[in-house]
Structure 1
């Protein structure tokens, strides 16, 4: 699910960061408007897992350990017929590339939650784009209760796990994916991701470079490397444009 970064944060007040039940409930309530979008993506993810032949347990384990709709959908669309070390490495690299943004997202939480005990680090696994933006907007408005982050994250990961299983059960009933449009999950999903990112014609140049490089690499090299090549080319182009603007 694509989100836009919140405005720059002001310095939080000094003192211990509270984590309260009231904050937890507030975070869950703030995340409720995002839940329908999460459900839609989760249903598509579960249905895709059924289509490629994963078991219900495999689908549940994947969704719980990855919790990353975009990389899961890409990985499943590229699911190999036979697994080799190279195929596993390629899938891992693709997932790592798509999820690299989480390094920056979780880094922005440190000024707020850096003083919390060590248990915070494994809990960060349930961070998602929507829970992050809900929490950071709350903090930018002067809030300090870290329970808001946990409430939003727990609600959304619960919705995700339940909905992916429902999607799996519904997808298992579909014998012809093309008849029901399940084969269009990937194009529609990424088209929906791209539209909110539009910032005018000049900002479209990295997209065009990424697409062109991906097409060339796919034709010349084949395999899955075109995804990584396109992503790197687009990122480098965007970085060079930002440097010139500065």
Structure 2
């Protein structure tokens, strides 16, 4: 990764992260196949919903015959963290058109957000729509393709966890966090470790009282507040 913000640079920068999409996308496709969803159904879900954790929940809720209202509400709660991410990244595109921002926000994911945060450390805190569009589009297409392939392979692979596919995104985020730690010079290294530790502990405690995605949202908010308190003025 370098300071280049061209479309081609976006394509190159996002490539390491798409391996996580491939692993989890294959796993989702296999689960969808065993839940008797068609290839067309999983493709449309990936193109329209485009949210890994939410799609796993949708598949399981469809299998149990849950009402549409419950599925919609669950999907909203699971993806509510994207509100915080979109607000964070929107300030770097204030000079761009409303349509540009809609396009960027519609395809923003946890991974491309984290990638953008790492990119800021190399570009003097600047981003360009062309760079983020490239990263978003590649991630979007790879995710859709991976879920379709997984669905087609569903009859051959009964248990995707035996290949460690369920750990793909976790491993990817560990790598992105490491890159953030070694490239971000705006905050002391010890401060960053302190915030990470606080969020980890908060998440552990909150998971005892709230569902996973609600706990994640609350831990994120608490982490932001804690970071503001401990960061050097």
1:210 and 1:193 map into 2 onto residues whose CA distance is 24
C-alpha contact 1:94 1:228 (8 A) present in aligned 2: no
Aligned match for 1:35, one of 11, 18, 21: 18
Partner-residue secondary structure (3-state), 1:119: helix
2:78 and 2:110 map into 1 onto residues whose CA distance is 13
Aligned residue number for residue 185 of structure 2: none
Aligned match for 2:139, one of 156, 171, 174: 156
1:236 and 1:135 map into 2 onto residues whose CA distance is 18
Aligned residue number for residue 210 of structure 1: 206
Task: Give the direction of change, closer, same or farther, for the CA distance of 1:193–1:71 in structure 2 (3 Å limit).
Answer: farther
Number of equivalenced pairs:
205
Aligned residue number for residue 137 of structure 1: 118
Superposition deviation, residue 83 in structure 1: 4.0
Aligned residue number for residue 99 of structure 1: 79
Aligned match for 1:53, one of 26, 36, 56: 36
2:161 and 2:114 map into 1 onto residues whose CA distance is 31
C-alpha contact 2:78 2:214 (8 A) present in aligned 1: no
For normalisation by structure 1, the TM-score amounts to 0.66
Task: Give the direction of change, closer, same or farther, for the CA distance of 1:205–1:111 in structure 2 (3 Å limit).
Answer: closer
Superposition deviation, residue 235 in structure 1: 4.3
Partner-residue secondary structure (3-state), 1:213: coil
Aligned residue number for residue 220 of structure 1: none
1:114 and 1:167 map into 2 onto residues whose CA distance is 39
Unaligned runs of 5+ in 2: 178-192
1:66 and 1:112 map into 2 onto residues whose CA distance is 25
For normalisation by structure 2, the TM-score amounts to 0.70
C-alpha contact 2:20 2:172 (8 A) present in aligned 1: no
Unaligned runs of 5+ in 1: 1-19, 215-225
Superposition deviation, residue 147 in structure 1: 0.9
The alignment yields a C-alpha RMSD, in angstroms, of: 3.6
Aligned match for 1:109, one of 68, 89, 113: 89
C-alpha contact 2:26 2:146 (8 A) present in aligned 1: yes
